[in-house]
Amino acid sequence: MNRNPLSLRHSPRRLRRHPAMRGMLQEHQLTPADFILPIFLVEGEGIRNEIGSMPGVFRHSVDSALKLCGEAVARGVSGVLLFGVIAETCKDAGGSASWDKDGLVQKAIRAIRAAYPDLLVIADACFCEYTDHGHCGILSADGDRDDNATLENLQRQALSYAEAGVHVVAPSGMVDGMVSAIREALDAGCHSEVSILSYAVKYASAFYGPFRDAADSTPQFGDRRAYQMDPANRREAFRELDLDIAEGCDMVMVKPAMPYLDMVRDLRVRCDLPVLTYQVSGEYSMLQAAARAGWLDLQRSVLESLLGMKRAGADAIITYYALDAAEWLG
């Protein structure tokens, strides 16, 4: 009999042969509690309009969003991340609609908190959906972003969300000093219980395209590379992380997810704060497109991609597949 004693002595496949063995030894597992569902909000009632570049994702009026939140609770999803999409006529140069106490996101926060008190409510804090120029803050005369003026408006926005009852404020504009400014405003306004989830490592990515369609937030000129990170850079992310931690953030995020899993791992090793990642609109849509063309099995490919994020070190994942993934996981 021909046999290789070394191969018999060391056979990893032995531990893969039985389903119970594979399940018992699985190093990382997904659960519905790992997921946060993004929701796009619009004014009106009974509105549920599909986004053309994101099949299966909709813009919701607040009453429709409440039904979506009910599904999230029923399936064990931990939370929702809210984005407001307002009419062009309501936009201005500073994004002032974002801190209106009766604004779209503020109304949604109050309604969700009342209907589903156990659901985590997170509000994105940025201005690209609210400014008439589509950039993430106030612009100076030469078209550059004025970070100091933008920080003042971020404080107004964050305080407005806190007064509406939000659990977590998530600043996404990559404004230097944004965490410190928001923490100062929240604490001064007697909202020290509100957490800050910083988009600490946010790259200037091509994968945001469908989101800009969904949120009507495409810049009217230029792009956002002057304040979002260069995809080529790794060490820069450590500086952004360290600064946000020093300024008092409670959680950090890497965005996008799949092209930057190395950064998820780097942040997980480098800090003790919870690390989240955002499976962004382009990641969602490319899986949808491949599945609809018959090139990929949607369920398997989505769950594999999410598991990769968890394996890289993500404590939670923001994903448009939150409801589907929760259902698939049973």
Check whether 13 is labelled as a binding-site residue.
no
Phi, psi of 213 (to 5 degrees): -70, -45
pLDDT at 46: 97
Range of the domain at 85: 29-329
Check whether 78 is labelled as a binding-site residue.
no
CB atoms within 10 A of CB 262: 12
Structural tokens at position 15? 């531990």
Evaluate if residue 6 carries a pLDDT over 70: no
As a whole-number percent, the residues of the chain with pLDDT over 90 amount to 72
pLDDT at 263: 97
Place of tokens 């993004």: 38
Say if CB 323 and CB 75 are below 8 A apart. Answer: yes
Q: Is residue 5 part of a domain?
A: no
Average pLDDT over residues 68-76: 98
Average pLDDT over residues 175-187: 94
pLDDT at 330: 85
Reported confidence tier of residue 128, pLDDT bands at 50, 70, 90: confident
Q: Is residue 2 part of a domain?
A: no
Structural tokens at position 235? 């060490």
Structural tokens at position 263? 């950064």
Q: pLDDT (tens digit, 9 = 90+) per residue, 14-59?
A: 889 999 989 898 999 999 999 999 999 999 999 999 999 999 999 9
**Residue 107 annotated to the active site:** no
Q: What string of H, E and C letters represents the secondary structure of the chain?
A: CCCCHHHHHCCHHHHHCCHHHHHHHCCCCCCHHHEEEEEEECCCCCCEEEECCEEEEEEECHHHHHHHHHHHHHCCCCEEEEEECCCHHHCECCCHHHHCCCCHHHHHHHHHHHHCCCCEEEEEECCCCCECCCCCCCECCCCCECHHHHHHHHHHHHHHHHHHCCCEEEECCCCCCHHHHHHHHHHHCCCCCCEEEEEEEEECCHHHHHHHHHCCCCCCCCCCCCCCECCCCCHHHHHHHHHHHHHCCCEEEEECCHHHHHHHHHHHHHCCCCEEEEECHHHHHHHHHHHHCCCCCHHHHHHHHHHHHHHHCCCEEEECCHHHHHHHHC
The domain that holds 96 is classified in CATH as 3.20.20.70
Check whether 128 is labelled as a binding-site residue.
yes
pLDDT at 222: 54
- Total number of domains in the chain: 1
Reported confidence tier of residue 113, pLDDT bands at 50, 70, 90: very high
CA distances from 86 to 41, 105, 131, 152, 230 (A): 8, 10, 10, 21, 29
Which one is predicted more confidently, 197 or 4? 197
Q: Is residue 48 part of a domain?
A: yes
Say if CB 283 and CB 305 are below 8 A apart. Answer: yes
CB atoms within 10 A of CB 203: 24
Average pLDDT over residues 116-134: 88
Distance of alpha carbon 149 from alpha carbon 319, whole angstroms: 32
**Residue 202 annotated to the active site:** yes
Cα torsion for 142, 220, 260, 31, to the nearest 10°?
Answer: 130
Q: Is residue 11 part of a domain?
A: no
Average pLDDT over residues 107-118: 98
Average pLDDT over residues 142-156: 83
Q: pLDDT (tens digit, 9 = 90+) per residue, 231-268?
A: 999 999 999 999 999 999 999 999 999 999 999 999 99
pTM: predicted TM-score of the whole model, two decimal places = 0.93
Check whether 249 is labelled as a binding-site residue.
no
Q: Is residue 24 part of a domain?
A: no
> Among 67, 91, 107, 202, which one carries the catalytic annotation?
202
pLDDT at 223: 62
pLDDT at 109: 98
- The mean pLDDT value of the chain amounts to 91
Cα Dmax for the chain: 84
Distance of alpha carbon 325 from alpha carbon 330, whole angstroms: 9
Evaluate if residue 138 carries a pLDDT over 90: no
Distance of alpha carbon 134 from alpha carbon 86, whole angstroms: 12
Residues contacting 287, CB < 8 A, separation 6+:
296, 298, 301, 302, 305
pLDDT at 286: 97
Pairing of strands 54-60, 275-279: unpaired
Q: Is residue 22 part of a domain?
A: no
Evaluate if residue 84 carries a pLDDT over 70: yes
Q: Is residue 4 part of a domain?
A: no
Check whether 224 is labelled as a binding-site residue.
yes
> Among 91, 101, 107, 255, which one carries the catalytic annotation?
255
Q: Is residue 21 part of a domain?
A: no
Evaluate if residue 2 carries a pLDDT over 60: no
Say if CB 268 and CB 275 are below 8 A apart. Answer: yes
